[in-house]
Chain A
């Protein structure tokens, strides 16, 4: 959500492109177009006023990748310069990729060098080609601008004018990272280290001040910031300065006058005026400087000085600085309030010194001191008038003598003092304290600042300060006593009361103002304590209220509360309890008047009164305050009432008042038909219908208006305290103890980015990002190879571990990033919130041709612990095997480890699964393995589903935690000469390359052709006995071939005669049978043949007959047909 209010900071236009493409020339042309000034060279950001509502800041993007990354982070619009005659270069695409990952600001391409084309057709084609290529990278229709060529070494006026048009109508959408972080593009850097320190040690840490417009969101005091390329530093001081390049006043005229065409470029050495917190620097060219002649006769000068013009004196004195500053410092004394120059040579320098010293040693102090002094002065004058008034009063009333007396006394004393100091004036070497008195001639009271220093003096001069001379201790202890002792304050009360009674218009104003101012911070002071210096007044004021204003607006018991609070501050060991018990001074609510008092807080009470109560309280300090404090807040109420009134009643009026312009824009955006009063609920209801997005937008706008309304009520100081410095203000940031290299190697061409850090972003931890290798990077990335990442404002080198998430949520380590897929990367570094874009680079050097962006990523989450695992296989060997149990050795190193893995599943190579049981006991078989008396540890008893073999290798698959290295190295590119390449941690391969080391090879890991011997198996032998017992079906039947036939077959068979007879008979019978069969067969053949002939004959006959039949039938049919035809014809 965009929360910026007021006028926006100048939009940053980054001009980027490869070298020699015409970047500086483009900026120069644009500057010339806007301001009619010729810029000699482009160094650092150049701010110009481009229109009535718009300022621009041009930055030239340096050519190294660090500068490109930084520029991408603050660019509102990037002008990508492309050499048309050459085509796209890698820088453009690199820059585009960086832009995309750090929120995509507006981008416009500009083609230059188009005059190198002679052929018009070719030019046209090239333009077309480049345009389409450009579109694929951004979006279809992205603006690509053509600058046709140079005329007198400048781009043509018309084209520059057109380009300026495009820039001036461009809208800049808020980017989520930037609207949630304050950032400053530094356009000026000053080294404010005390010169002596630098003189003593030129390499001491420096204090620097950086200047620039605040962008993004509001910046609070005490925030931390990151200076890109330097590191994290706390902001030791912020001051809002006057805008060096303000928008023209909103007069009703068209266009810009020449006078208003301001531009501001301190690093380019342009613009003659420089504004600082406490000084304005005027640049005068050397040849314009002419020194007036020094008189030399100092004594005469001294004499004359008193008569002459003071300014002339000052200048003269400046001219004759003979001594160095610290020499003078030694001589001179500090004068804070010099009425007149005591000696013309001393005074101004002395005062300057005082400034310097104060400034450098305690830079925050002086402002407050001065302020307090100023306040003091005011007070004094007030008091003066008070006393006067009082005197008046008293003279008229003629009552309270107790008070009258001291006042008269003080007057007396003061007159005494006057004479005293008047006499002392003659001796010049006196402490300034007296001078101060001298200045405020008539005053007698209050010297809060000097009291502490001059206690003794005070004592001497008596209690001029206090009304009661009896309170001696009062002055001694100064302020604190004052507050606590009640008698004193009561005395003061009386005074005050008196003041109030006597309504003399003369002092009323100042008093009322004062009280008004005080009243506002009162409760805040109660809670937050007060600013250090002016304690006395405030404390008194508080105690005053405790007694005096009670009946007006403090609830009963408030006084008690204050005292309680007082106790509180001291009591550090109070019980931690949110319940507030002590206030229970219980009232009896049964009595009627008590009931009546809160009757209207209930729905049964008077609704109108209740609503009145709410209304009144909304219009808070409107009328009520008036009643309560008499006529104090005349001035204030007017304003306040206005703002409040509009708050509830006339919403539309407020709109008009506050941000008419803004609302108009918004309405345009929302396409709202209704007229102006969209604060009311009805119209909101209408817009609800138009969609979620519109509703969201509407809500945001409403929120913003509320914010503006609420914050505008506050006065400047409180507002800054509450919301910080607003965006668009020009700030001076002070950093202490910055390495001297930053100043030494400061190059205005490299813009410095100061980015504010949100809560928790300065912490370091593990970050998990979703990373994808860039498709143009040639190699995949290796785990533990250092990469340089740019996250948020930072750039640092870190060592990532890549991982991927398995289906069961496990983060498994990857050795290399996948080719075309996202993976997770875990690394250590300063944390960035989720959704932040990341760009990873491996090589910073700008002399390589390849694409430098290696990967892009988004932050997913951060953790304090990395949970990445990798696979591990524990291998063991069986050392003793029982039935299904085996002792496994070399898998674990200790019994403790075994205990850790009890129940883990294991497997052998042959596939037998098992489980780890327990460490093997000594007595069961571990004895034999004793080495020198001690039992070997780490032998585990495991069981398997089958008996394993001795040679089977057992392994256990497990996951082991991978440590992510706790390493990050911020890129300190701003601390070294810019042309040098920053050198960080090197990758292993780089180191090998440098040291000429070979890649270590594990022979076991090499792939070799697998040679497997043909295995010979022994034949299966079934024991005889078994074979015999087998049924025939199971007996082996594959009888092997024999050369010699079996004995059975070989031996001769001799038959018995009877047998022979039988045999012969059988043979005969067989012969007979076979003959018979033969004959029968022949007979059958003959029969079959005859039959076939007969069949054929019959067939022929039947065919013939059928044919005849058919013929007859057809003839018949024909006849009939003819008849029919004839019939029909006839």
Chain B
């Protein structure tokens, strides 16, 4: 019953990742110097919101933040899950920021998790909820996550700056552990699907985006379907905006995605000044840009896009003590950060081998053998 050994970390980088890994590995952490030098020191509202979310879904987790918010002490509890939870994510960061760690925590919870998240559903910084639904959830199935009970329902949309969107995420628990995978066959792109949305603007915006994106894809393959989702009234949230999310599905079941959305900026303090200057890009440009990004992702190769690298590595590391082997395009900085943190928290190291012929990277690891310990046996 001795003193709690805290793991000491510094800086604000990858805060949610650290908290996530700390919870999964039940390692208490202390993070110091969180933006200590910055003009606005301390934790950001979305980080605090994430901490609140953690408190909501787990039992007996303790969070201590000092006065300035520059240091944080976190002692994880047991992830409880449960139904009918509601969390307001705020409007500083989109729901995508919260979804990624939440889905992993939900897998290792005591009871299946169903939570309603309110806030911004689409913005340009984080993966949007459409992408999450079309790409991330199928990815989890590769690791043996039961597909029933795993879903994300978009009730209404909200874009920055005022948000007002609502999604319902439900995650099943895994019975014992994940399944190690060998996933190096990226296959060929057989179809491209997509979603566009518009809130409080004309539906014409969507049509223009679709037209522009299709124009790019026409030279590659004919099977392109992009669905429109025009929201109005209550479901459209509080701000006007529009956006697009594209997914390329390959013959081997990989999903590669790209997305963005356009709306007025979030930050008010700088927004006041720059509002005149800031030109929102026209829908045509947005369509072309996202199509190009998608093609760039496809060119890069790998079984996931660069956005999902981190999640992929995390899932691999959480597998039982078998070898997982995955192929990704070039490592994203976030992916590298994830790899480092995995080593620190879970003690899992990846063998990273470049594959020169395809300009991709093959990663291998032996999972840490995490089991769903909080589950109750009957």
Instruction: Please report A residues at the B interface, Cβ cutoff 8 Å.
Output: 1, 3, 180, 217-218, 220-223, 520, 523-524, 526-528, 552-555, 557-558, 561, 564-565, 568, 571-574, 576-584, 586-590, 595, 597-605, 607, 610, 613-614, 616-618, 620-621, 624-625, 628, 703, 706-707, 710-711, 714, 718, 721-724, 758-760, 763-765, 831, 833-835, 858, 860-865, 966, 968
| B83 CB to nearest A CB, Å | 15
A573 in contact with B12 (CB, 8 Å): yes
| B249 CB to nearest A CB, Å | 10
| A950 CB to nearest B CB, Å | 48
B320 in contact with A603 (CB, 8 Å): no
Interface residue from A597, A607, A620 paired with B299 (Cβ < 8 Å) = A597
Write out the residue numbers on chain B whose beta carbons fall within 8 Å of the beta carbon of A223: 347
Bound-complex Cα distance A360 to B255 (A): 54
A572 in contact with B10 (CB, 8 Å): yes
B336 in contact with A568 (CB, 8 Å): yes
A524 in contact with B320 (CB, 8 Å): no
B339 in contact with A222 (CB, 8 Å): no
Instruction: Please give me the residue from chain A that is nearest to B192 by CB atom.
Output: A602
Bound-complex Cα distance A597 to B343 (A): 36
A760 in contact with B26 (CB, 8 Å): yes
What 1/0 mask marks residues of chain B from 324 to 352 whose CB sits below 8 Å from any chain A CB?
01010111111111011001001101111
B356 in contact with A568 (CB, 8 Å): no
26 contacts between A and B (CB under 8 A): A3-B322, A218-B366, A523-B361, A527-B352, A528-B339, A528-B340, A568-B337, A572-B12, A576-B17, A577-B125, A578-B334, A598-B295, A599-B220, A601-B299, A605-B188, A614-B185, A617-B358, A617-B360, A706-B323, A722-B366, A759-B368, A764-B1, A833-B373, A860-B377, A861-B375, A861-B376
Instruction: Please give me the residue from chain A that is nearest to B310 by CB atom.
Output: A578
Q: Given A603-B221, A862-B374, verify A624-B11 contact (CB < 8 Å).
A: no
B216 CB within 8 Å of chain A: yes
Interface residue from B17, B327, B361, B364 paired with A710 (Cβ < 8 Å) = B364
Write out the residue numbers on chain B whose beta carbons fall within 8 Å of the beta carbon of A833: 371, 373
B73 CB within 8 Å of chain A: no
Q: Given A528-B343, A555-B300, A759-B369, verify A604-B221 contact (CB < 8 Å).
A: yes
Task: Name which of B16, B220, B320 has the most chain A CB atoms within 10 A of its CB.
Answer: B220
| A554 CB to nearest B CB, Å | 7
Write out the residue numbers on chain A whose beta carbons fall within 8 Å of the beta carbon of B310: 578
Bound-complex Cα distance A892 to B153 (A): 48
Instruction: Please give me the residue from chain B that is nearest to A221 by CB atom.
Output: B347
Task: Name which of A598, A602, A604, A607 has the most chain B CB atoms within 10 A of its CB.
Answer: A602
Write out the residue numbers on chain A whose beta carbons fall within 8 Å of the beta carbon of B320: 1
| A827 CB to nearest B CB, Å | 13
Interface residue from B127, B292, B322, B365 paired with A703 (Cβ < 8 Å) = B322
Instruction: Please report B residues at the A interface, Cβ cutoff 8 Å.
Output: 1, 10-17, 25-26, 33-35, 37-38, 47, 59-60, 77-78, 97, 100, 110, 125-127, 180, 182, 184-190, 216, 219-222, 251, 289, 291-293, 295-296, 298-301, 306-311, 320-323, 325, 327, 329-337, 339-340, 343, 346-347, 349-362, 364-366, 368-371, 373-377
B13 in contact with A220 (CB, 8 Å): no
Interface residue from B10, B343, B351, B376 paired with A718 (Cβ < 8 Å) = B351
Instruction: Please give me the residue from chain B that is nearest to A552 by CB atom.
Output: B356
Q: Given A564-B333, A578-B126, A610-B188, verify A220-B357 contact (CB < 8 Å).
A: no
| Known A520-B353, A524-B349; further 20 A-B contacts with Cβ < 8 A | A526-B336, A528-B343, A561-B331, A571-B13, A572-B12, A573-B38, A574-B12, A578-B308, A579-B125, A598-B295, A613-B357, A621-B356, A703-B322, A759-B370, A760-B373, A763-B26, A861-B375, A863-B59, A864-B78, A865-B59
Across the A-B interface, the 9 shortest Cβ-Cβ residue pairs: A572-B11, A864-B60, A553-B356, A580-B332, A861-B376, A580-B306, A523-B352, A760-B26, A710-B323
Interface residue from A552, A621, A760 paired with B25 (Cβ < 8 Å) = A760
B220 in contact with A574 (CB, 8 Å): no
Q: Given A589-B295, A759-B26, A760-B26, verify A557-B330 contact (CB < 8 Å).
A: yes
| B48 CB to nearest A CB, Å | 13
Instruction: Please give me the residue from chain A that is nearest to B28 by CB atom.
Output: A763
Bound-complex Cα distance A603 to B336 (A): 31
Instruction: Please give me the residue from chain A that is nearest to B338 by CB atom.
Output: A578
A524 in contact with B220 (CB, 8 Å): no
Task: Name which of A600, A601, A620, A763 has the most chain B CB atoms within 10 A of its CB.
Answer: A601
Interface residue from B15, B26, B220 paired with A604 (Cβ < 8 Å) = B220
A861 in contact with B221 (CB, 8 Å): no
| A447 CB to nearest B CB, Å | 31
A966 in contact with B16 (CB, 8 Å): no
Bound-complex Cα distance A523 to B182 (A): 20
Write out the residue numbers on chain A whose beta carbons fall within 8 Å of the beta carbon of B343: 528
Bound-complex Cα distance A573 to B339 (A): 18
Write out the residue numbers on chain A whose beta carbons fall within 8 Å of the beta carbon of B221: 602-604
Write out the residue numbers on chain A whose beta carbons fall within 8 Å of the beta carbon of B373: 760, 831, 833-834, 862
Write out the residue numbers on chain A whose beta carbons fall within 8 Å of the beta carbon of B366: 218, 707, 711, 722-724
B376 in contact with A624 (CB, 8 Å): no
Bound-complex Cα distance A3 to B353 (A): 24
Bound-complex Cα distance A561 to B339 (A): 15
Write out the residue numbers on chain A whose beta carbons fall within 8 Å of the beta carbon of B375: 834, 861
Write out the residue numbers on chain A whose beta carbons fall within 8 Å of the beta carbon of B351: 524, 714, 718, 722
Instruction: Please give me the residue from chain B that is nearest to A833 by CB atom.
Output: B373
A578 in contact with B188 (CB, 8 Å): no
Write out the residue numbers on chain A whose beta carbons fall within 8 Å of the beta carbon of B307: 578-580
Write out the residue numbers on chain A whose beta carbons fall within 8 Å of the beta carbon of B219: 590, 595
Instruction: Please give me the residue from chain B that is nearest to A834 by CB atom.
Output: B377
B368 in contact with A595 (CB, 8 Å): no
A577 in contact with B347 (CB, 8 Å): no
A616 in contact with B12 (CB, 8 Å): no
Bound-complex Cα distance A968 to B1 (A): 8
Write out the residue numbers on chain B whose beta carbons fall within 8 Å of the beta carbon of A572: 10-13, 33
A863 in contact with B347 (CB, 8 Å): no
Bound-complex Cα distance A613 to B308 (A): 23
Bound-complex Cα distance A760 to B97 (A): 26
Bound-complex Cα distance A552 to B37 (A): 41
Task: Name which of B126, B358, B362 has the most chain A CB atoms within 10 A of its CB.
Answer: B358
Bound-complex Cα distance A660 to B315 (A): 33
| B324 CB to nearest A CB, Å | 9
| B276 CB to nearest A CB, Å | 24
B293 in contact with A584 (CB, 8 Å): yes
Write out the residue numbers on chain A whose beta carbons fall within 8 Å of the beta carbon of B35: 573
B299 in contact with A721 (CB, 8 Å): no
Bound-complex Cα distance A586 to B343 (A): 33
Write out the residue numbers on chain B whose beta carbons fall within 8 Å of the beta carbon of A617: 184, 327, 355, 357-358, 360, 362
B188 in contact with A527 (CB, 8 Å): no
A620 in contact with B362 (CB, 8 Å): yes
